[in-house]
Amino acid sequence: MKITIEELPESRIAYFRDVGEYGEKQNKELMETFKKWAKLNDVFDNSTILGIPQDNPEITPKEECRYDVCVVINKDLNVKKPAHVGEFSGGK
C-alpha cells in the first residue's frame, strides 16, 4: 500500500455522524448511507470524501466515540437533512 500525505485546506463540509464503538461494519454502513445521500444531493461526483474518527478510544468510552463521514461542499450549497454542516479545519 502506498501512503500519500496531503495538505488539505480549511473547508465547509456536509457530514453524517455515528456515535459508538469504532468498527469496520459500523463505519462501512455509515459510509454507504452517506454515499447514497451525496449522490441524491449531487455532491458525490468529483468530490473529496473524508472519514474522520473524532475521539481516541483509549481515552473516550467506546459508546461515546464519534465517527464522521463527510464531503467537502461549496459555501453556497443548501444542505438537506439528515446531513449536518460543519467546518473542516484543514491540515496534513
Domain contains 6:
no
52 is a domain residue: yes
Identify whether the C-beta of residue 82 lies closer than 8 Å to the C-beta of residue 30: no
CATH code for position 28: 3.20.80.10
What pLDDT is attached to residue 67? 93
Share of the chain above pLDDT 90, in %: 39
Q: Is the pLDDT of residue 50 over 90?
A: no
DSSP-based helix, strand, coil % in the chain, nearest 5: 20, 30, 45
What does the DSSP assignment read for 8-67? Answer: B--EEEEEEEEES---HHHHHHHHHHHHHHHHHTT--TT--EEEEE-S-TTTS-GGG-EE
Q: pTM of the entire structure?
A: 0.81
Residue 82's domain spans which residues? 11-88
